[in-house]
Amino acid sequence: MDVSIIIINYRTPQLIINCLKSIYQHTSGVTFEIIVVDNDPENGGKNVVLAQYPEINWIDMEYNSGFGRANNEGMKASKGRYFLILNADTLVTDNVIGRCLDKMEHQKDISAAGALQQYADGSPMPFYKSFNEFHKTFFILPPSRIIDRILNKLYPEPEYKNDGQCDWLVGAFIFVRREAAELSGRFDEDFFMYGEDVEWSGRLGKQGRLCYFNDCTFIHLENDNPFRRTSISWINRFSTQMQVSNMLWLRKQYGTGAYLLMILHYVSMIPVLFLWKMLLNIKQKKNPFGHLKTQIIFTRKTMVLLHYFWPTLFAKKYLYKIKPSENIDLLTIS
């Protein structure tokens, strides 16, 4: 078996069907199996999918285990020499799986690779290539050339030796060598959603190069989920679940110092952001206490981060999944 394609389902049977249809339509020259891991068997539409594709291996989880744990179960049940971690809300439009296999077979120093994401209209979807590029986005600071220069000096971009090389791969499409996945330890099961692909990439990168194949693309539809961000601004650029996962990744990869610095940054920014907005309101001859929704959302998200402060600081082993009452993005949709 060449490739084990692992897809996580959470109440998206039609997306699964569309994804499978594209795989079977466009994939050739590859022996593959498809494993679907369902994080909500009661509402996952298993019978609907299996009625059309009875040959796939369907695994029911006992609870909503998130992305990493479910993928690990899929990898445990797999037979392929390679794994393809693939989102349910994706479509392949040509034999991208076959090309990835061929490239991996001829470049043994690559432990894992990704394809370039595209929106539904075929336009390119932006992505981060380096840990430092991603890390810099955590700082909630006003856009400024001076600030950019300082951050770039503190967190410089790495120089890659090969075309397409990167620090981490987007979890929507990760083509990974089985030996590299086993040696790296697979996904860290503390992550519920977001950040697990970044953390795993750090360990996969120790087994060989990570890269994006520039002639390999796929469609990422970005299906809505209850943890997706809303009210996006330069202040509230991450969803609450994403932010909790980001801080967990920061603690695991860079240690307690980097984590404490970021938490201190967020806490100290609360009065700064309120004061800035109130002064702006006064300048514009408005109620100084008006239009503070963005600042309030930021404060509430920071309070959630502080709820996970001690477990994150001491690297407690458990599933970092926010509670419904902590899902500030969903609670503040207007």
How many CA atoms does the CB half-sphere of 282 hold within 13 Å? 7
For residues 210 and 248, membership in a common domain is answered with no
pLDDT tens string 138-172: 999 887 899 999 999 999 999 888 889 999 999 99
Token readout for 64 is 């909503």
Residue 61 has pLDDT above 60, yes or no: yes
Predicted confidence band of residue 253 (pLDDT cuts 50, 70, 90): very high
Beta-bridge partners for 112: 176, 210
Edge-first strand order for the sheet with 3-9 is 57-60, 32-38, 3-9, 82-86, 173-177, 110-118, 209-220, 90-91
Which pLDDT score, from 0 to 100, does residue 323 have?
A: 95
For residues 247 and 192, membership in a common domain is answered with no
User: Residue 228 corresponds to which amino acid?
Assistant: R
Gap between the Cα atoms of 59 and 150, Å rounded:
48
Range of the domain at 265: 240-331
User: Residue 298 corresponds to which amino acid?
Assistant: F
pLDDT tens string 68-107: 999 999 999 999 999 999 999 999 999 999 999 999 999 9
Domain count, the chain: 2
Residue 169 sits at φ, ψ, to 5 deg, of -115, 140
Token readout for 45 is 């539409």
For residues 215 and 261, membership in a common domain is answered with no
Predicted confidence band of residue 223 (pLDDT cuts 50, 70, 90): low
Gap between the Cα atoms of 290 and 161, Å rounded:
52
Cα of 289 vs its chain's centroid, Å: 36
Gap between the Cα atoms of 150 and 288, Å rounded:
32
For residues 192 and 80, membership in a common domain is answered with yes
For residues 209 and 266, membership in a common domain is answered with no
Predicted confidence band of residue 230 (pLDDT cuts 50, 70, 90): low
For residues 323 and 264, membership in a common domain is answered with yes
For residues 180 and 311, membership in a common domain is answered with no
Residue 309 has pLDDT above 60, yes or no: yes
> How many C-beta neighbours within 10 Å does residue 146 have?
7
Residue 226 has pLDDT above 60, yes or no: no
Residue 324 sits at φ, ψ, to 5 deg, of -55, -35
For residues 203 and 251, membership in a common domain is answered with no
For residues 206 and 321, membership in a common domain is answered with no
Residue 232 has pLDDT above 70, yes or no: no
Distances (CA, A) of 79 to 32, 82, 145, 255: 9, 9, 51, 36
For residues 189 and 273, membership in a common domain is answered with no
For residues 190 and 67, membership in a common domain is answered with yes
CB 89 within 8 A of CB 221: yes
